[in-house]
Chain A
Amino acid sequence: MKLNRRAFIKSAAAGSAIVAAGSIFPGISFAGWQQQEGASGQISWQKAPCRFCGTGCGVLVGVSGDRAVAVKGDPNCSVNKGLCCVKGFHSVQALYGKDRIKKAQVRRNGKMVEVPMTEALDLIAAKMKETIEKHGKDSVAMYGSGQWTIPDGYVASKLFKGCIGTNNVEANARLCMASAVTGFMTSFGIDEPMGCYEDIEHADVFVTWGNNMAEMHPVLFSRMLASRKRKKNVTIIDFATRTTRSSQAADKSILFKPSTDLAVANAICYEIIRNDWVNWDFVKKHTTFHKGKTNIGYGTEDHFSFTDVPEDISFEQYKTFLADYTPEKVEKISGVSAKDIKYMASLYGDPTKKVMSFWCMGMNQHVRGTWIQNLVYNIHLLTGKISTPGNSPFSLTGQPSACGTVREVGTLTHALPHGVVMNEHDREMAAKIWDVPVTNIDPKPTYHTVEMFRALDRGDIRFMWIQVTNPMVTMPNLNRYRNGALKDDRFIVVSDVYPTPTTAVADVILPATLWVEQEGMFGNSERRTQHFDRIVPGPGDTMSDTWQIIEVARRLGFQKQFPWGEDEYIGKIWEEYRRFHDSPKHNMASYEMLKERSGVQWPFVNGKETRWRFNTKHDPACKPGTDFDFYGKKDGKAWIWARPYEPAAESPDQEYNFWLNTGRVIEHWHTGSMTRRIPVLHNAMPESYVEINPEDAADLGVVNGEKVKIISRRGSVTMKASINGRGVPPRGMVFVPFFDESYLINEVTLDAFCPISKQPDYKKCAVRLEKV
C-alpha cells in the first residue's frame, strides 16, 4: 500500500491534534524496544564518558524514572563533539541484560550459593588474613583493570601496597598498554602523549601503525576523515599486517610482515638522514642518542627477568647502526617495497607537512613493543615533528581508564600513584599521604601480570581478587592459567556484572555496579580526566568496586586509612589522590571542576589545560627561555634509541605454517561480556570467526562459513571460516576476533612478552589449519 500523509491521516482516526505515535496503529507496538510503563515520556540528560574504549567520548545519558533509556553524544565534549559509535549509542543497554549478577555468591561443596553481601565480604577478609598468615603477604594479589574507575584503582593500591604491604597489584592494562608506558619512559622519561586529539585538525599526513582505527577508534577515525574532506590535501597511510576497513578508507595501504615494523621504522630513519631531512636545530638542542641490550628474549619461561642497560652513543654510531636498514635491505625482511619505504620517509621528512602517527595494540602487543615505540618516536624526533599542533606521535588506549587508573594511579606492581616503589622519595610521599609507616611499602616489585598468573599456577600466590576484567578469556596460553586458577587451595574472588568464564572459576562472586550506577572518573588517551555521577541506581545488592575494597579494608583493620562515608567517598578519594600529582607536570583539576566539565586535561595549571606538553608556548612546566623542554629525562632531552629488528617469539615453520593474529571488531568491546548483551551489537556480530586469505582457503578446500580447526603447540579451537569478510589477512596469516567466549582463541595464543614492558604479544604466534 502506498501511503501519503493525507490518506494516512484519514485512515488513522485523528480526532485530536495530539496523536501519540504509539496509538496511531492500535494493537501494534513498536518492535524496537519495550516501552517503559508509567513514564512521563520525558528524559533528563546527564554527562558521562563512554564506558568502552580509551577514546573517551562524552555521552549524555538520558534518564527516565530510575532507568537509563537513551544516549546522545555530548556536544560539549571536545573529544567527539556530539558523535558516538554504535557501541556508545547503545551503551546504556549494557546495564539491562537479564542475567545481571545482583547477589553475592560463594562456593559451597562445589556449588555457587547466594549469600548476603556482608557474609561474602567477611569471608573475603577472613580468607585474606588466613592466607597471609600461612603463606606471607605476597601470597595475596589484586588483579584489576583499565576499566576500574580512578577511585577503584586508588583504594586497591592503597590497601595492597600501603596497608598490607605487598606489591601484588596488577591490572589488565599490562596486556594492553604496558609497552606504551615503557616506550614513553625510555624515550621521554614521563608517561602519556605529549599531544592531543586537536592535532587531528592540524595534521596533513596520518600514518596508522598496525592500527585498524575505523573499527577500534571510529570516532577519531571519523574526525580524521572529516579533516581530509575539509582540507583536501590530507593523506592517510594504513601501515598494517592485514587489510581492513581502515585500509579501504586510507589513501594508501602498505602491508608488512609481522614484527618487521621495527626494520621499516629504522629504514625510514635511514632515509631521513640520507636525504638530510633531519631537523638539525631540534636534534642538537633536544635529543641524545642511546642503545640498549639486544637479543633480549621472549619471557616464555617462568621467573624470566630482564633489565635493560642503556648506553650513550653518538649520532655517528647511530648512523652506522642504521646502515643495516637501507630500504633495499629492509624490503627483503619486511615485504614492503623500497619505494613504499622511501615514500613513507618522504612524508615524514617533508618540512612542509605536519605528521601524526597513530597506534594501539599492533605496536603494544608486540614482543618488541617498547622498541617499536622508541623507533616511531625516533622518526618524529629526527624531523622535530613533535609537541606542536599537528605533529604528534600518538599512542591510543583501548580501555576507558587505562591511562587514568592504571598509568596515572600506578596500579602495576612497580608503580605508586607518584613514581615507583623502588624509589625512596616516592615511597615516603605515598606513606605520608596514605598515613601508613613507610616501612609498609615494599621497595621490591613482585609479579607482572603473566608472572602473577604463573605464580598462581605454581602456588606462590594463593588468593587473587579480580575486578572489572575477564582474564579467563584474555590471558594468552589460557589453558595453563585456567588450570592454575582451578587448583586446590587457590581462592579466587571475582567482582563483576555478568557471568563470564572468569566468574566460572570464582570461589566468591561480588555483584558490582556498572558504569553510571556509581560515581567515578576515567582518564582517556589524551590526558583527559572525566567525571561521572551515579546516574541510575544499581540493581539488587550491587556495590561499587571501590566500596567493596573499602569494606574489606575495614574488616582487615584499616579503618583509619579508609574513613570516608558512602555519600562523599569519591570526592574525598579524588582530593587525597590529587595530592600525589601536585606539580606543573601533572596537576589535576579539582573535584568540583571535574563535576562541571565534560572532561579536563592534565597538566591543569593556573586554570588552564595543557594541550601540548614539552612545548614552552603551551606547557608551563617547561623551563622559560627555550622552545622545547623534555623535562621527563634528567638531561632535559628526548632520547633517540638504536633498536634493531628482532623476529617474533614464534614464527611459522614447516609444521605450524600460519601466523595467528587476534584482535577486535567494531561491534564488540573486549570479551563481549557487555556488548554481547546489547541486542543491536549481538545481532550484527553474533559469533567469532577465522579470517583466511582467499587463496589459502582455496588451497585448504574451505569455503566461506565452513569449519576450520586452528591448532598451535598450546591448544586448538574450531570455528567458521570468513573469506573476504570484515578483513582480509595476507597469505600465510589468519585473524580471529577474541570477543567470543565460545571460541577461546587465547587457548591457542602464546604467552611471550616484551622483556621491557612484560606485555604479551597477541598478534604473532604459529598455527596450522585443518578443514573439519
Chain B
Amino acid sequence: MNVRALLFLLLGVGNAFAQGFAGLGTDAKGFAVPERGRHLAFPQDHGAHPDYRIEWWYVTANLTGPDGADYGLQWTLFRSALAPGEGAAWESPQVWFGHAAVTSAAVHRATERFARGGTGQAGVTAEPFAAWIDDWQMAGDSLDRLRLTATGKDFAYDVAMRAEGPIVLHGEQGYSVKSAKGQASHYYSQPFFAVEGTITLPEGEIPVRGTAWLDREWSSQPLAEEQSGWDWFSLSFDTGEKLMGFRLRDAAGGDFTSATWIAADGTATPYGNGRLVATPVETSRVKGQDIPTRWRLTLPDRRLDVTVGALNTQAWMDLGISYWEGPVRVAGSHPGKGYLEMTGYGQR
C-alpha cells in the first residue's frame, strides 16, 4: 500500500475502501471510536484528536469580487493517523495533509501539502486556535476571528473570517450517523463566517468578500464497507437559513441521507435517513468521466425544492486523493449559494 492509497483508503474514497476497511467498524486497531452522547467541549474540541484515525478542518467560502464575479475558496487540513496517539519528532504516527483551491466560473486551481506530525511542520492547537501545514494557516485568538491563508504555484489567498452566529452541532449533539449500520463521526460546523480579504491569481490581486463555512469532523470508522462515496452539500439561502446535507452512496443502490436545517439564529434541526432527497439531474464530462454537476434537492419537512448547479463544472481536485469540490448556485424555493463535494467518482 503506498502513501496515496493509504490516505485514499482512510478517507474512504473509492473501491479500495471496500477491501481495506473491512472489519474496521468493529475493531479500530486501538483507535477511539465516536460515542453517542459524548459531550463536545470547546475550545478543546477545536484541537486535534490524535486517538481517532481521521479528522479534518474544512473551510469553504463563497466570495464575490468587486465586479460581482463569483469565486469559491477551499482550505482543508486533514489528519490521518497510522496508529493512535502522538510521538516525538519522526516517531509520530500522525500524517497531515492540506488541500487548497480557488475556483472561478472559468478556472479551478488546486494544490496540496503533506507533513508528518511531531516535527512542527503541521498541527492544530485549540487555544489560541491555530491549524497549519507549512505556511498555510487558519489561526486567531479564538475560532470566532480567524485569518486564513494558503499559497500554491499559481494562486494564493489571505482572508479574515469573523463568526456572526453560533457553532452548530450535527446529528445528535454532534454525533452524526453515517450508515444504517451505525457508523458515525463527531461532526460540528461554524457556518456563519463573514469573510473579507484578497485572492491572488497570476493576473493580479482581487479583493473579495462573502461568507464561509467551517466543518469539523473526526472519526475512526467513517463509512460502511459497501458505501462507495458521498455527495455533500453546504448551502446558505438568501433568507439567512442554511442546510447541511449529504448522501452516502451504497454500491447496492440504497442511499443513506442525512441533513441539518440551520435557522438564521443557528438553531439546528437534524433530519435522519431518507428525509433529504438528492437527485442528480445533469452530468458533466470531468477528467474523462461523467460527474453530476446539477442536482435537485428536496426536503419536504421544510418545503425545500431547489436545483443546485456548479459555478464551474470542472472543479476537480486532481490531487493525491481526487474528488470534486466547488461552489454552487441554488435556485428554486430557496435561492442562495453554497458548496458541493462529491467523492468516490474517480477511478483512482
A, B from the same assembly: no
Chain B residues within CB distance 8 Å of chain A: none
